Amino acid sequence: MSRVTIEMVRRNTTVNSYLAKTDRCMVSMGYTEHGARHARMVSISTSTTG
């Protein structure tokens, strides 16, 4: 099984569509941004801990 990289995620239009929709939903509930920037931050933190 191959690893999923942040570059693969960045280039995937389906993933980006879900991230954008999730971000709008989270903002409507009063949360801060949880889109592509958040995904990038999480991917960086998990790649250094795992």
- pLDDT value of residue 14: 95
Buried b (16+ CB within 10 A) or exposed e, 37-46: eebeeeeeee
Q: How many domains does the chain have?
A: 1
- pLDDT value of residue 36: 72
Does residue 28 fall inside a structural domain?
Answer: yes
**8-state DSSP, 30:** T
Range of the structural domain that residue 29 is part of: 6-49
Does residue 17 fall inside a structural domain?
Answer: yes
What angle separates helix 13-28 from helix 36-49, to the nearest 10 degrees?
110
Does residue 16 fall inside a structural domain?
Answer: yes
Kindly report, residue by residue over 1-50, the tens digit of the pLDDT: 788 887 888 899 998 898 888 888 888 888 876 677 777 788 788 766 55
- pLDDT value of residue 48: 66
Global pTM exceeds 0.75: no
Does residue 1 fall inside a structural domain?
Answer: no
Distance (Å, rounded) from C-alpha 29 to C-alpha 27? 5
- pLDDT value of residue 34: 66
